[in-house]
Homo-oligomer: A and B are copies of this chain.
């Protein structure tokens, strides 16, 4: 089996490492717009060779792991050039736009839309981690639109690297992921911004920061190049979650202003239920 990974960042690089480990005889090659990423991926043993776009037709599996705006342009082109038995797998964080863009493509049945929910706040081939996907969820969208034997090949890969598969339509994916992922990123970025603005005037407040702040602000280290197109593509859902979040914050502020500390207590006590919810996950 020959796997070509387009985009050798955190996700593409980690997939390359895990696939090579799960399938030792597999040939894993890669390509990236950024030549430094290619050199780094070769140096770190993430891929065994660079591949050219023109040579993608020799691959059995092509994984596209690039920012979601670029994926919209590139995936139809990849579907144009691959050989007729290959499968193209998208792993981006939004699913409706990419599923729409390939809808009428003559090779639609060679495409599988997935979202492996794994990652860190870091990016680039240096951030690639062996085992990143173990016990994580992969959301598979519109699976019935992919040819059965190609579904099988793709899903075998994700199962082999330890992922739990879940099936969903792209619209449901985009709506739900706005809550459990996109909103977290905005809450974290804006928390970081609020504290950085304060720091400008009040020096040295950061050595007062504990592990709680570090945890809530961790996602504010994420790549704007990756996240801007995600917010753009999922704008409607993201705005909806953001409005609900802002309403909840305003309500909490009102409770404080009204000295309603029973209300404040109850808000937190009710939300403690998150412990049960996360128990099975983290």
Which A residues have a C-beta under 8 Å from some C-beta of B? Answer: 117-121, 136-137, 139, 164, 166, 173, 175-177, 179-181, 183-199, 202, 205-222, 224-225, 227-229, 231-232, 235, 238-239, 241-246, 248-250, 252-253, 256-257, 259, 261, 264-275, 277-278, 281-282
Could you say which residues of chain B place their CB within 8 Å of the CB of A244? 194, 197-198
Q: Given the interface contacts A194-B241, A208-B177, does A217 sit within 8 Å of B274 by beta carbon?
A: yes
- Return the chain B residue nearest A198 by Cβ: B179
Inter-subunit contact A224/B269 (CB<8 Å): yes
The complex places the Cα of A188 from the Cα of B216 at a distance, in Å, of 7
The residues of B that contact A268 with a CB separation of less than 8 Å are 189, 220, 222, 224, 227-228
Q: Which residue of B lies closest to A250 (CB)?
A: B246
User: In the assembly, how many copies of this chain are there?
Assistant: 2
Contact partner, A239, options B120, B224, B253, Cβ 8 Å: B253
Smallest beta-carbon distance A11→chain B, Å: 12
Q: How far is the CA of A221 from the CA of B275 in the complex (A)?
A: 6
Known: A177-B208, A281-B206. A191 touches B184 (CB 8 A): yes
